[in-house]
Amino acid sequence: LSWLNEQPVESVLYVSFGSFSLLTPRQISELALGLEASQQRFLWVVPVKNKSMEELEALLPEGFLKRTEERGLVLPGWAPQHLILAHSSLGGFIMHCGWNSTLEAITLAGVPVIGWPFLGDQAPNCRYLVDGLCIGVEVIGNDNGLVESDEVERAVREIMDSPWVEGMKSRVKDLKAAASRAVAQGGSS
């Protein structure tokens, strides 16, 4: 968390697809290039089998870690998501929209999201976050299902640096406050 402590408030995009990522090596490369092109700060947790930097570097585009070291941190394996999501430097969250991550995005982070659903309940959860609650955007894959780097860049800029992001931030902060009231003593939950 020391890296997060050095970042400005609401400036970091957290990228995590849970412990069992379904991203192909090609998709990981496109995601990396999109993050790089966005010029936004990011913390990306990449589940790799041996949790080694060597294994991680082999998945990423050549030179990516060096080119982004001033504004990005890529961690192999696992990170304490609940602590990251509650950190004041967090400004956005790319996720698969699984139910646990969806709840954490609202109740812990209170930041706009980029939905990247893969299976099960993730697609309807994503639709609800994007169309129902209006607190995020969804990435769209090409005809082969690949989410290309320019689509990643578009989505990142939309939730981190667009004129309408303030509305998303306001709505998700209201939801976070409502959730806190509901679980507080005397609350509705």
Query: Quick one: pLDDT at residue 163?
Result: 87
- Please tell me the pTM assigned to this model: 0.93
Q: What is the pLDDT of residues 64-95, one digit of tens each?
A: 999 999 999 999 888 899 999 999 999 999 99
Domain ranges of the chain: 2-183
Q: How confident is the model at residue 187 (pLDDT cuts 50, 70, 90)?
A: confident
Q: How confident is the model at residue 164 (pLDDT cuts 50, 70, 90)?
A: confident
Please provide the CATH number assigned to the domain covering 2-183.
3.40.50.2000
Burial classification of residue 118, based on how many CB atoms lie within 10 Å of its CB (0-12 exposed, 13-18 middle, 19 or more buried): middle
Query: Quick one: pLDDT at residue 48?
Result: 77
